[in-house]
Amino acid sequence: MMIRVPHGATKNRKRIGRGSASGVGKTSGRGHKGQNARSGGKVRPGFEGGQMPLYRRIARRGFSNYPFKDVAIPVNLDVLSGIFSNGGEITLEVLKERGVISRNAEYVKVLGRGECTAKFVVKGLAVSAGARAKIEAAGGSVEDASTPVEEGTEEG
């Protein structure tokens, strides 16, 4: 048995400039005269017919921190409880090895959705207040990623 395409599923492309009976003859759908009727005639992106274009009307002032923003990948307690059912030490490297986060992730924050069913030791990750309370209630502990430097203790 031969597999066939259903009737009407394929259509021939529109061949422009092939006589007036084709429906797109003579001016080939370009209309009469004007810039867009000419060969090679078109307007550049953003051109608004001489009106001041939008990209020039909008003010460009100030500074945006957007390109430098650090985005933390959220990981919830229910996910950790499912993967680390016996508890253990949870670090950025361990999460990457187990496939919880992508290999190029730099920042992770543990959030408190779900229940903490095992004894976790979270090291070097940001942890929300709710998640910290649940981890500590289950007998685990949280060691912060960064300890603040006290004033006057910097070596220089």
Both tokens assigned to 97: 């090895």
At 145 the pLDDT is 59
Going along the chain from its start, the domains and CATH numbers come out as 71-143 (3.100.10.10)
Residues in Cβ contact with 34 at an 8 Å cutoff, skipping those fewer than 6 apart: 41
Residue with tokens 């990457």: 96
The tens place of each residue's pLDDT in the chain, 156 residues long, gives 789 999 999 999 999 999 999 889 999 999 999 999 999 989 999 999 999 999 999 988 888 888 888 888 999 998 988 888 887 888 899 999 988 898 988 899 999 898 888 888 899 889 999 999 999 998 888 887 554 444 444 444
